[in-house]
Amino acid sequence: MRRFVLPAVLVAIASGPSCTPARDSLYRPPRPNIIFIFTDDHGTQAISAYGSRINETPNIDRLASEGMIFRNAFVTNSICAPSRAVILTGKYSHLNGQLTNEETFDGSQPTFPKLLQRVGYETALFGKWHLKSAPTGFDEWQVLVGQGPYYNPPIRSAVGTTEITGYTTDIITDLAIDWLDSKRNTAKPFMMMFQHKAPHRRWDPSLNHLTMYDDVTVPEPDTLFDDYTGRGTAARQQTMSIARDLDDRDLKFEPPEELTPDQLELWNQAYEPKNAAFREANLSGDDLVRWKYQRYVKDYLRAVASVDDNIGRLLEHLEQSGLADDTIVIYASDQGWYLGEHGWFDKRWMYEESLRMPLIVRWPDTVAAGSESTAIVSNLDFAETFLDIAGAAVPPDMQGESLEPILQGATPPEWRTSFYYHYYEYPGWHDVARHYGVRTERHKLIHFYTLDEWELYDLERDPDELTSVYDDPGYADTVIELQAELDRLRQHYAVGEDDRPVDSALE
Ligand code: CA
């Protein structure tokens, strides 16, 4: 840390209070700026760089073609606030205290933005925060209140809360670009967290995307009508079913209540004819499920389209302002998501779609353009990666690994080959039972510990995870091996017993 603090003092003495030192002053090694673009609930199935069959994301794809795409980036606890707390602290949920969306984040603990500030970075945060306590470690922050609406959001900052009229994804981008352009301290490298609410439920499109996809049929996933016969109790007891659990607001029979009269008029012009056609058709059974899937997934993809448009705006701004060459741009989302796979919306599970998060990194002159990594990486690694990039010391109690060697094209030979997952929010939304487990390149062992049930999947033979082979004698050795690995990981990460009370309904 000292090597960065001392030069800053020298610069101040040499240049005097009225003179701003040049960014690449001899007195300070040049360090890249970091822009962390982070969305909420964006599954890789809806990113064309990941092979989407259902949409195009040209601006996110551009980051991939100019940078590195991670094929096996996993979240430690697949839900909004816990994922964010892991990213900030570099520690699993049981150590950072954010087990579920219910706790208030303890902002007094060490986080990577605070540590970046100490080595001379200016830090800023725009958009979704979702950790209840006021952000700490940021020189500038303007955030949504809680989840925040898609329209006309109240924006909270250090000086109070103001409502801004417009579409939230556009507004967050306006705030970020404005800061980059005219508010930041250009004498310092910066780290900006640019965090969208979209495409989180309730998937409200912007007014210019209300009829996008109206004339297409989105392909259905193979497992839309999964009956869960190959799995345990948990998969049958969830309440995230497209057939059963989407409500009128999700399905756009009700508009967002935040709309102004002018916005509402445009909204109704788009949805009323579609809703009338639906009533006319009088669907039932599988046809009704198929209709709900189309309605749900199209609105989701419309929300994604605005995210991609706005990433385009940001990238354009970086080019025009001359920042692009000195700025690392990362794209990630807080977890994966179900777009009808297994009949579901939402996340939470250790199953693949919600475990896997998008991660794309563009770092000019360091990351090879169009490269990819299949190493098992995680949101647990982000804090250490950012500190490493900035030349800051990593606290010894952070639990991830810096991705910098992978980004430079040399995955360390001792890189992890197994990954520990733990979901806690039960009782809670969508009734997904608590579970932990281990994933390796080929297998996944899950313990639904409040149900006393185990599941094992062979991802090579059964990539859709339709049939647990936990009780298959052919996998007896694999079970023993993975249970030992699970024990080792739980010990390594200092995971204690989760003895919080559980609703008896699931037992
Ligand atoms: Ca989320």
Query: What separation, in Å, do the N-terminal and C-terminal C-alpha atoms of the chain show?
Result: 51
Helix, strand, or coil (residue 11)? helix
Helix, strand, or coil (residue 343)? helix
Measure the CA–CA gap between 234 and 248, rounded to whole angstroms. Answer: 26
pLDDT (tens digit per residue) in 13-58: 333 334 444 444 444 458 999 999 999 999 999 999 999 999 999 9
CB atoms within 10 A of CB 434: 24
Cα within 13 Å of Cα(13), Cβ side: 7
User: Can you read off the two tokens belonging to residue 402?
Assistant: 């810096």
> Homologous superfamily of 32-204+297-411 in CATH?
Alkaline Phosphatase, subunit A (3.40.720.10)
- Distance in Å, CA 74 to ligand 1 centroid: 13
Are the beta carbons of 210 and 299 closer than 8 angstroms? no
- Distance in Å, CA 273 to ligand 1 centroid: 31
pTM of the predicted structure, to 2 decimals: 0.94
Q: Which of 416, 357, 462 is nearest to 71 (CA)?
A: 357
Measure the CA–CA gap between 40 and 465, rounded to whole angstroms. Answer: 24
Rounded mean pLDDT, 178-203: 98
pLDDT at 372 exceeding the cut of 70: yes
- Distance in Å, CA 277 to ligand 1 centroid: 32
User: Can you read off the two tokens belonging to residue 495?
Assistant: 């995971």
- Distance in Å, CA 334 to ligand 1 centroid: 5
- Distance in Å, CA 198 to ligand 1 centroid: 9
Per domain, the residue ranges of the chain are 32-204+297-411, 236-296, 421-506
- Distance in Å, CA 33 to ligand 1 centroid: 25
- Distance in Å, CA 261 to ligand 1 centroid: 30
- Distance in Å, CA 159 to ligand 1 centroid: 27
In the chain, % of residues over pLDDT 90: 93
- Distance in Å, CA 185 to ligand 1 centroid: 31
CB atoms within 10 A of CB 51: 8
Least confident range from 24-38, 70-84, 91-105, 488-502: namely 24-38
User: Can you read off the two tokens belonging to residue 399?
Assistant: 């639990």
Q: What's residue 13's pLDDT? A: 38
Q: What's residue 18's pLDDT? A: 40
Are the beta carbons of 484 and 371 closer than 8 angstroms? no
Rounded mean pLDDT, 468-478: 98
- Distance in Å, CA 111 to ligand 1 centroid: 20
Q: What's residue 30's pLDDT? A: 80
Q: How many residues does the chain have?
A: 507
Are the beta carbons of 83 and 334 closer than 8 angstroms? yes
pLDDT at 77 exceeding the cut of 60: yes
pLDDT at 337 exceeding the cut of 60: yes
User: Mind spelling out the 3-state secondary structure of 184-231?
Assistant: CCCCCCEEEEEECCCCCCCCCCCHHHCCCCCCCCCCCCCCCCCCCCCC
pLDDT at 391 exceeding the cut of 80: yes
Rounded mean pLDDT, 370-394: 98
Question: Residue 420: which H helix or E strand, with range?
Answer: strand 418-423
Are the beta carbons of 455 and 470 closer than 8 angstroms? yes
- Sorted by sequence, the CB contacts under 8 Å of residue 497 that are 6+ apart come out as none
Mean pLDDT rounded to a whole number for the chain: 94
pLDDT (tens digit per residue) in 232-246: 999 999 999 999 999
Band (504; pLDDT cuts 50, 70, 90): low
pLDDT at 90 exceeding the cut of 90: yes
SS percent in the chain: helix, strand, coil, step 5: 35, 15, 50
The CATH code of domain 421-506 reads 3.30.1120.10
Rounded mean pLDDT, 427-441: 98
pLDDT at 9 exceeding the cut of 60: no
Rounded mean pLDDT, 167-190: 98
- Distance in Å, CA 43 to ligand 1 centroid: 10
pLDDT at 10 exceeding the cut of 90: no
- Distance in Å, CA 5 to ligand 1 centroid: 37
Measure the CA–CA gap between 492 and 77, rounded to whole angstroms. Answer: 17
Helix, strand, or coil (residue 492)? helix
- Distance in Å, CA 402 to ligand 1 centroid: 23
